[in-house]
């Protein structure tokens, strides 16, 4: 038995692969295109580990996928591969539709052909888990109920629209071709190995480098933060016991405004690595122009996952954020490696 993890060199994918092999022995094949967001160093703890094989390639490459599925007798696919950053989807939407929609389509086609060739028992137990986002549901007013699986899709950014489209294609393959798919829609993740274009690692990185901490607009937008290890545990549980064709929301039940998150990071850094001048990192907070179409609030109702599969987040936010800050402080070589050329060009374009 082997699982195929696509996009497994990115933030959540690499945490998932590392956790998978730390909690069991079933081999993993990781397929990743190694875009700017994919980093082989994320998987370096698995160097020399016979249970893990890395292949560089795209989910858009049907022939490669077919070979991997058959060659490794894959029994499940977990699809993390995507363009994932909202701001990049605003400055260049096309790549999001190419990877997130067309890439997912090619993956589904390869899986469909593979599953058709399996014997009855293998076909019955095969699963494709498509990892998606709460952003497909759009935005919530401050007093609206959290997103349930039954909420209509109302994506507002090109990223969210591309993920929503991919979810629809996955659903269509279930309805039309009977593919045994599972979909998860998760809230914002944080934790080790997150590329420093996303809010939390960007703020840590900028703070330590004496740069502005850019807060979009008034900073009162709300996100429902989930520790990445909790997301990985949810995905393992859905893969193990989720009902094919079902969608599960995954969230931290942990709504925070952006400014609150940024201030908490500043306080953690003040305690751990005080600025030379003795002042707080909070002095570096700078309100900048808001993101176009910026969703005001996300909140996830994850009761279905708890009720049906018994999953709950285990990591509290304060402790989880402290662990994350400590990870970045202890892994400055990793940060230096990923914040090389392509990263610097992005920051210059985005923040001027």
Which of 21, 29, 82, 266 is close enough to bind ligand NAD by CB under 6 A? 82
In whole angstroms, the minimum distance from the beta carbon of 204 to ligand TYD comes to 12
- Window 86-105: contact mask with ligand TYD (x via CB under 6 A): x-------------------
Stretch that binds ligand TYD, among 60-68, 70-78, 195-203, 328-336 (CB under 6 A): 195-203
141-160 binders of ligand NAD (CB under 6 A): none
Which has the closest alpha carbon to 53: 82, 73, 29?
Answer: 29
Member of 30, 89, 133, 206 binding ligand NAD (CB under 6 A): 133
Looking at 9, 17, 199, 299, which residue binds ligand TYD (CB under 6 A)?
199
Binding region for ligand TYD (CB under 6 A) out of 2-10, 90-98, 194-202, 225-233: 194-202
Q: Which of 32, 83, 87, 134 is catalytic?
A: 134
Instruction: Report the partner that residue 258 touches, choosing among ligand NAD, ligand TYD, none (CB closer than 5 to 8 A by kind).
Output: ligand TYD
- Rg (C-alpha) for the chain, rounded Å, is 20
| Beta carbons of 135 and 163 less than 8 angstroms apart | yes
Task: State the distance between the two ends of the chain, measured CA to CA, in whole angstroms.
Answer: 49
Residue 43 binds ligand NAD, judged by CB under 6 A: no
**β pairing state of 255-257 and 222-224:** antiparallel
CB of 278 to ligand NAD, least distance (A): 34
> Token pair for residue 2?
């082997």
How far does CA 283 lie from the centroid of its chain? 30
Is residue 230 annotated as a catalytic residue, yes or no?
Answer: no
Nearest-5° angle of CA 13, CA 16, CA 21? 130
224-263 residues near ligand TYD, rule: CB under 6 A? 258
The verdict on 11 binding ligand NAD (CB under 6 A) reads yes
Give the shortest CB-17-to-ligand TYD separation in angstroms: 22
Place of tokens 């997301």: 231
Q: From the list 13, 158, 191, 201, which residue makes contact with ligand NAD (rule: CB under 6 A)?
A: 13
Judge whether 134 counts as a catalytic residue: yes
Q: DSSP strand E in the chain: where?
A: 2-6, 28-32, 52-56, 74-79, 127-133, 181-186, 189-190, 213-216, 222-224, 226-227, 247-250, 255-257, 285-288
Q: To 5 degrees, how large is the angle CA 197–CA 199–CA 202? A: 55
Q: Burial code of 149-181, b = ≥16 C-beta within 10 A, e = fewer?
A: bebebebbbbbbbbbbbbbebbbebbeeeebbb
Q: Does 6 bind ligand NAD (CB under 6 A)?
A: yes
Ramachandran category for residue 210: left, alpha or beta (phi over 0 → left; psi -120 to 50 → alpha)? left
**Alpha-carbon distance 115 to 135, whole Å?**
30
Q: Which of 88, 174, 223, 263 binds ligand TYD (CB under 6 A)?
A: 223
Please pick, from the candidates 52, 127, 163, 174, the single residue that binds ligand NAD as defined by CB under 6 A: 163
Out of ligand NAD, ligand TYD, none, which partner does residue 195 contact, by CB within 5 to 8 A per kind?
Answer: ligand NAD
- 343 scored as a contact of ligand NAD (CB under 6 A): no
Residue 223 partner contact from ligand TYD, ligand NAD, none using kind-dependent CB cut-offs of 5 to 8 Å:
ligand TYD
Residue whose C-alpha is closest to residue 163's, from 141, 194, 140, 185: 185
- 189 touching ligand NAD, by CB under 6 A: yes
Q: Using the 8-state DSSP alphabet, how is residue 300 labeled?
A: B
Contact 71, 27 (CB under 8 A): no
Q: Is 120 a catalytic residue?
A: no
Would you please indicate which residues are annotated as catalytic (active-site) residues? 134-135, 159
Binding footprint of ligand TYD on the chain (CB under 6 A): 86, 188, 198-199, 202, 214-216, 221, 223, 258, 291
Write out the residues near ligand NAD by the rule CB under 6 A. 6-7, 9-13, 31-35, 37-38, 58-60, 80-82, 84, 99, 103, 131, 133, 163, 186, 188-189, 195
């Amino acid at each position: 038995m082997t699982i195929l993890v696509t996009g497994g060199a990115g933030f959540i994918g690499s945490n998932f692969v590392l956790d998978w092999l730390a909690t069991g022995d079933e081999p993993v094949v990781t397929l990743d295109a190694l875009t700017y967001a994919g980093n082989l160093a994320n998987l370096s703890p698995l160097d020399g580990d016979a249970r893990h094989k890395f292949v560089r390639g795209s989910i858009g490459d049907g022939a490669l996928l077919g070979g991997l599925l058959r060659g490794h007798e894959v029994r499940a696919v977990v699809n993390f591969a995507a363009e994932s950053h909202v701001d990049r989807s605003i400055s260049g939407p096309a790549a999001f539709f190419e990877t997130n929609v067309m890439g997912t389509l090619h993956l589904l086609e390869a899986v469909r052909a593979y599953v058709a060739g399996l014997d009855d028992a293998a076909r019955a137990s095969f699963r494709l888990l498509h990892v998606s986002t709460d952003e497909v549901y759009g935005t919530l007013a401050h007093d609206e109920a959290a997103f349930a699986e039954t909420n209509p899709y109302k994506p507002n950014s090109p990223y969210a629209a591309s993920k929503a489209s991919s979810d629809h294609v996955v659903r269509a393959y279930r309805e039309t071709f009977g593919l045994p798919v599972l979909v998860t829609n998760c809230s914002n993740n944080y934790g080790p190995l997150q590329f420093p274009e996303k809010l939390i690692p960007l703020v840590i990185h900028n703070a330590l480098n004496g740069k502005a901490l850019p807060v979009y607009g008034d900073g009162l937008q709300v996100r429902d933060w989930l520790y990445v290890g909790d997301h990985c545990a949810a995905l393992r549980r859905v893969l193990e016991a989720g009902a094919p064709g079902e969608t599960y929301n995954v969230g931290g039940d942990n709504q925070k405004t952006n400014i609150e998150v940024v201030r908490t990071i500043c306080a953690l850094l003040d305690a751990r690595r005080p600025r030379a001048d003795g002042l707080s990192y909070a002095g570096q907070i700078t309100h900048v122009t808001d993101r176009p179409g910026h969703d005001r609030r996300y909140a996830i109702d994850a009761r279905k996952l708890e009720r049906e599969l018994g999953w709950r987040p285990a990591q509290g936010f304060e402790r989880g954020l402290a662990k994350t800050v400590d990870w970045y402080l202890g892994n400055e070589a990793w940060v230096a490696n990923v914040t090389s050329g392509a990263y610097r060009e992005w920051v210059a374009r985005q923040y001027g």
